[in-house]
């Protein structure tokens, strides 16, 4: 498969062609990030092409999107805590400054991060971290993908959690 899906992340997810998709959620797609310098980095993509900001959605869809973000954040937290004892927390961000579609970032944070960035937003990491092949998503992240996907499934299966997630097609 080529990298054509990167030019249309939402459309390719809707067509089942985006290889980063972990699960289809109520109002979007949980995807694992293209870069993994913070293992477990994930993104929630809205499932409606053309939606640029949260306020573009009707209130019920906004709440569904935010609920999906909560679910993805908790799944990343559970998976990363289990896989790395140095896991600290998850940061959630909806920025929208670069990509012209609604999406939210889920950043796991760790005790082993360099002291000069550990307490700051991830965007202060050196630019080369974002493009270095060493940190690119690849087969070595399959266990991480499975762990996050499994946690998403468990959150849906737990009747206390409430709403159902559509199965990934």
Domain extent listing, the chain: 3-157
Q: Quote the percentage of the chain above a pLDDT of 90.
A: 75
Q: Tens digit of pLDDT for each residue in 13-45?
A: 999 999 999 999 999 999 999 999 999 999 999
| Fold of the CATH domain 3-157 | HIT family, subunit A (3.30.428)
Q: Tens digit of pLDDT for each residue in 114-146?
A: 999 988 999 999 888 888 888 989 889 999 999
Residue 151 is predicted with a pLDDT of: 97
Other Cβ atoms less than 10 A from the Cβ of 10: the count is 22
Give every strand in the sheet of 42-46, ordered side by side. Answer: 21-24, 28-32, 42-46, 103-110, 87-93
* Average pLDDT along the chain: 90
**pTM exceeding the 0.85 threshold for the entire prediction:** yes
């Amino acid at each position: 498969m080529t990298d054509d899906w990167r030019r249309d992340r939402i459309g390719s997810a809707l067509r089942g062609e985006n290889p980063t998709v972990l699960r289809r959620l109520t109002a979007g797609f949980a995807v694992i990030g293209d870069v993994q310098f913070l293992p477990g980095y994930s993104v929630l993509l809205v499932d409606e092409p053309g939606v640029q900001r949260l306020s573009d959605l009707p209130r019920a869809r906004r709440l569904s999107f935010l609920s999906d973000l909560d679910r993805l954040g908790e799944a990343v937290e559970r998976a990363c805590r289990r896989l790395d004892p140095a896991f600290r927390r998850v940061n959630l961000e909806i920025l929208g400054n670069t990509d012209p579609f609604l999406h939210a970032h889920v950043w796991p944070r760790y005790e082993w991060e360099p002291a000069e960035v550990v307490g700051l937003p991830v965007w202060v990491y050196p630019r080369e971290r974002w493009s270095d092949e060493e940190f690119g998503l690849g087969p070595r992240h399959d266990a991480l993908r499975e762990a996050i996907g499994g946690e998403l499934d468990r959150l849906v299966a737990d009747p206390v959690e409430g709403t159902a997630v559509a199965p990934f097609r």
